[in-house]
């Protein structure tokens, strides 16, 4: 199945150029083109593209704010900023950008980014479990309130917590639990020696990490023991993990 791409750019000529480059790669399909942020959010909800090419300035609106909304809806979306505004690069990568292209950019540069996305979509074989780091001080259970019930989740069973569709989803090996609690609230209730806010949309159990691999330009992906879901890790948090365990 082709990887769906959405173009968010108010310059029709630039949209046409990006479409032509993307369509040369058979692994991708341009599912939508948007010249306004409001339309982009609507199309994103409807089509769920995996990749979004996004300008920083769309009319008088901010592409950075658009990216915040899109990543709140789906933290795994690959945002590729294509813009003439180099000064927003640091903010974009703090938010989470898969790549940042400065106009005018070479078409080969776009192709390289697309090829990197294809390489990341190849399934990673499961490796033999290695040493598990277990902190000494832990709470036994996490209480999560639902609309009509309460769940008591053993803390050691939590593998990761992900923010998606304006809710927080707690993943264990066998189950998942949806809560309206924010990641900030959940983070305060968990042992910081065992759990790390790896990215604005993720909390991870350090003792469940199986592997960390490069993902975006300054981003990593974390794979876990006991769960096929993965999480994003910023470069800053990657360095923090190295300081803790290396």
pLDDT (tens, 9 = 90+) of the chain, 246 residues, equals: 899 999 999 999 999 999 999 999 999 999 999 999 999 999 999 999 999 999 988 878 888 889 988 988 888 899 999 888 887 787 777 767 888 888 888 888 899 999 988 887 665 444 433 333 333 444 588 888 766 678 889 999 999 999 988 889 999 999 999 888 899 999 998 999 999 999 989 999 999 999 999 987 788 999 999 899 999 999 889 999 988 887
Number of Cβ atoms within 10 Å of the Cβ of 181? 18
Q: Can you tell me the distance from the alpha carbon of 132 to that of 184, in angstroms, rounded to the nearest whole number?
A: 26
What is the strand order of the sheet 28-34 is part of? 28-34, 3-8, 51-54, 78-83, 99-102
What's the pLDDT at 164?
Answer: 86
H helices of the chain, in order, are 12-23, 37-47, 63-73, 89-95, 107-120, 183-188, 235-245
| Burial bucket for residue 239 (CB in 10 Å: 0-12, 13-18, 19+) | exposed
What's the pLDDT at 123?
Answer: 54
Taking the whole predicted model, whether its pTM rises above 0.85 is answered as: no
| Burial bucket for residue 199 (CB in 10 Å: 0-12, 13-18, 19+) | buried
What's the pLDDT at 72?
Answer: 85
- CA 92 to chain CA centroid, Å, is 13
Which residues are within 8 A (CB) of 216 and not within 5 positions of it... i.e. 6 or more apart? Answer: 78, 96, 97, 98, 99
Q: Can you tell me the distance from the alpha carbon of 3 to that of 117, in angstroms, rounded to the nearest whole number?
A: 9
- CA 198 to chain CA centroid, Å, is 11
Please report, for residues 139, 153, 184, 218, the alpha-carbon distance to residue 145 in angstroms, rounded to integers and kept in the order given.
Answer: 17, 11, 16, 36
What's the pLDDT at 130?
Answer: 35
What's the pLDDT at 124?
Answer: 47
| Pairing of β 3-8 and β 51-54 | parallel
Structural domains of the chain ordered from first start: 3-120 (3.40.50.2300), 141-245 (2.40.50.1020)
What's the pLDDT at 84?
Answer: 86
Q: Can you tell me the distance from the alpha carbon of 204 to that of 160, in angstroms, rounded to the nearest whole number?
A: 4
* DSSP string for residues in 150-177: EEEEEGGG--EEEEETTEEEEE-SS-EE
């Amino acid at each position: 199945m082709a990887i769906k791409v959405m173009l968010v750019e108010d310059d029709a000529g630039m949209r046409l150029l990006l479409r032509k480059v993307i369509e040369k790669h058979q692994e991708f399909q341009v599912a939508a083109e948007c010249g306004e942020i409001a339309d982009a959010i609507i199309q994103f909800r409807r089509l769920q593209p995996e990749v979004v090419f996004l300008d920083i300035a769309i009319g008088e609106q901010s592409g950075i704010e658009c990216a915040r909304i899109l990543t709140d809806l789906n933290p795994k979306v690959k945002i590729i900023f294509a813009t003439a505004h180099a000064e927003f690069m640091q903010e974009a990568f703090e938010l989470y950008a898969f790549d940042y292209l400065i106009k005018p950019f070479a078409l080969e540069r776009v192709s390289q980014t697309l090829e990197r996305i294809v390489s990341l979509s190849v399934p990673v074989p499961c490796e033999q479990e290695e040493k598990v780091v277990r902190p000494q001080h832990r709470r036994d259970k996490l209480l999560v309130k639902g609309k009509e019930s309460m769940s008591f989740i053993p803390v050691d069973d939590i593998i990761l917590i992900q923010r998606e569709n304006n809710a927080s989803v707690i993943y264990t090996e066998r189950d998942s639990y949806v809560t309206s609690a924010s990641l900030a609230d959940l983070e305060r209730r968990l042992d910081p020696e065992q759990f790390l806010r790896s990215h604005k949309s993720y909390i991870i159990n350090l003792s469940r990490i199986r592997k960390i691999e490069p993902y975006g330009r300054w981003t990593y992906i974390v794979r876990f023991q006991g769960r096929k879901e993965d999480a994003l890790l910023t470069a800053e948090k990657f360095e923090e993990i190295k300081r803790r365990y290396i």
